[in-house]
Amino acid sequence: MILRRMLVALAVVAAVCAGVNGCKKDEPKSTRWDDAAAAVTTVQVSPSGAPAAPAIQAGVLPKYFPKDESLAGYKRVHSADKEGYAEAKLQKDGKEVAILSIADAEKLAYAKAKFDTAADKLDGYPLMTVGNNQTSVLVKGRFQVKVSSQTLDNDARKGILSKFDLKGLEGT
Amino acid sequence: MSESLHAVLEGLPQSSLTTHVLGALDWIVPGEWTNITLFEAMIKDVTGETDEALIQQVGERALQLYADESTGYQRAVQVYRGIDSASTVAGAAAMANLAGQRFEILSFLTDVTPRADTTQAIDAGIKFAGELVGFTLCNGLPGDSVGDFVASLANYGKEERMRLAAWLAIDCVLPLGPDFVTKVLEALDGPLESIQENRVFEFVSEHLPGGIAEQRDTIKKNVEESRGHLEGMVSQHGITQETVLAKVKEYVAIADDKLDVAAAALDLGTNTFEHTGIQTVARRVITRAYGEI
């Protein structure tokens, strides 16, 4: 076995050396994320001591997603159910057209704070667009419900948001 | 300190024997897979956003989510890596630098011993259990959630669909032929030791509940319940030993037409689970980050 591996390794080395002239170097990698990645470690070593509301366990959030019968022409496929985050893919004719998500923003102050300037409302909850491809509503000052799509416009995304059980979510 | 998500993704080769083989199998899942190895490019692909500040925010949140071990994403990467590291010789990675020409794996073939059908069949079954485990870790489900996994197979897209196609072509049809499911199930019914001794099993077993007998049941159930989808994919896309070998040979020089030898050499020289698995995890984490920010 060891001899076999050595033989293979030798063969590979020979192949690489023989092919040096044909080598193509990879595109240079960006250093854009290095600082952010290093900062993550720092945060983890000394977490902030601020008390947080109890975590939302897996299994809680999916039940507030739109019911299948309310999504005429679409098919919904749940794709994540984790602590504080649930997600579903929305498909039409077998193609993914949107991602639906509910995220607990309790520990993400900036995620909640952006709604301070929200001018619109949906069923009384602050509503806004994020970037070009998201429409989002904040429920209970804590849960961010989003529809993200590169093909559906804001009105269509808002229409899907209205199918979530936002009142039920308010009661969690 | 664990490796950060952007480092893991950007550690993947832009051109390698693996990417050539995946490219050769594109006909099974046309247009589903492009080889995205830059973190920023993956964020743009997932979100479609152009605002640099927003892209930065998504990226930073994704790095945080991945760094938090409790999210399970790091373990998913470990499983995808484990599936391949167990079957790929270390030296094969060096071939990743060879590009711009057809890959030459003739030198491999002189030294590769094809595996017995039973060994290959067990390997294929356990790798597929690894796919189940990767799926459950990413999505937050228990390791034996076979029903959810099977239901989701039809909705597999992009890197995950490419990975499934490559597994079907290289691990199943090429070495085992059209009745690969039957062969896998029969092999899994053999002595438990043959499963325990499998090289991939150790990376998968810790995520499957129960003892060895229950773990075998889960591995078998996973294949049995996916059977319809897998066989449908094979027949729908015309995946045969001949079509796989012919396509691969367009991109990779294989002198030997013996199917089992070609399959063993491809298994030895490629890491399709690791490569596309890391891309899947990056996509899943970035999708979540985009939902959270």
- Least confident piece of the model among A16-25, B33-42, B97-106, B131-140: A16-25
- Least confident piece of the model among B1-15, B102-116, B130-144: B102-116
- Give the pLDDT confidence score for residue A68 in this predicted structure: 86
* pLDDT at residue B143 is higher than 90: no
A47 inside 8 A of chain B by CB: no
Q: For testing the chain B interface, which of A82, A108, A150, A154 should be mutated: the one with the most B CBs within 10 Å?
A: A82
A95 to chain B, minimum CA–CA distance in Å? 9
A158 to chain B, minimum CA–CA distance in Å? 15
B291 inside 8 A of chain A by CB: yes
B236 inside 8 A of chain A by CB: no
- Give the pLDDT confidence score for residue B75 in this predicted structure: 96
* pLDDT at residue B252 is higher than 70: yes
* pLDDT at residue B91 is higher than 60: no
- Give the pLDDT confidence score for residue A25 in this predicted structure: 53
Query: What share of chain B in percent tops pLDDT 70?
Result: 88
Of B154, B156, B88, B158, the residue nearest B123 (C-alpha): B88
A157 inside 8 A of chain B by CB: no
A39 to chain B, minimum CA–CA distance in Å? 9
Q: Which residues contact B21 (CB under 8 A, 6 or more apart)?
A: B166, B170, B248, B251, B252, B266, B270, B272
Assign A9 a pLDDT band (cuts: 50, 70, 90): very low
Residues 59-118 of A with CB under 8 A from B: 77, 79-83, 85, 87, 89, 91, 96, 99, 101, 103, 105, 108, 110-111
Q: Is A138 helix (H, G, I), strand (E, B) or coil?
A: strand
Q: Which residues contact B205 (CB under 8 A, 6 or more apart)?
A: B212, B215
B229 inside 8 A of chain A by CB: no
Helix (H) or strand (E) holding B124: helix B117-139
- Give the pLDDT confidence score for residue B104 in this predicted structure: 58
CB contact under 8 A, B13 and A26: yes
Assign B280 a pLDDT band (cuts: 50, 70, 90): very high
Please state, as a whole number, how many other Cβ atoms lie within 10 Å of the Cβ of residue B293. Answer: 24
pLDDT digits (tens, 9 = 90+) for A65-116: 999 889 888 999 989 999 999 999 999 988 899 999 999 999 999 999 999 9
A72 to chain B, minimum CA–CA distance in Å? 19
- Give the pLDDT confidence score for residue B260 in this predicted structure: 78
Q: Residue B207 and residue B15: Cα distance in Å, rounded?
A: 32
Q: For testing the chain A interface, which of B5, B43, B51, B111 should be mutated: the one with the most A CBs within 10 Å?
A: B111
Assign B134 a pLDDT band (cuts: 50, 70, 90): very high
Helix (H) or strand (E) holding A115: none
Q: Find the CB nearest B98 among A15, A26, A39.
A: A15
- Give the pLDDT confidence score for residue A54 in this predicted structure: 87
The pLDDT mean for chain B works out to 89
Q: Residue B285 and residue A37: Cα distance in Å, rounded?
A: 14
Q: Which two tokens stand for residue A101?
A: 């998500």
* pLDDT at residue B12 is higher than 50: yes
pLDDT digits (tens, 9 = 90+) for A147-171: 999 999 999 999 999 999 999 999 9
pLDDT digits (tens, 9 = 90+) for B54-84: 999 999 999 999 999 999 999 999 999 999 8
Q: Which residues on chain B are in Cβ contact (under 8 Å) with A105?
A: 292
B227 to chain A, minimum CA–CA distance in Å? 20
Residue of B nearest to A26 (CA): B14
A26 to chain B, minimum CA–CA distance in Å? 6
Q: What is the ipTM of this complex?
A: 0.88
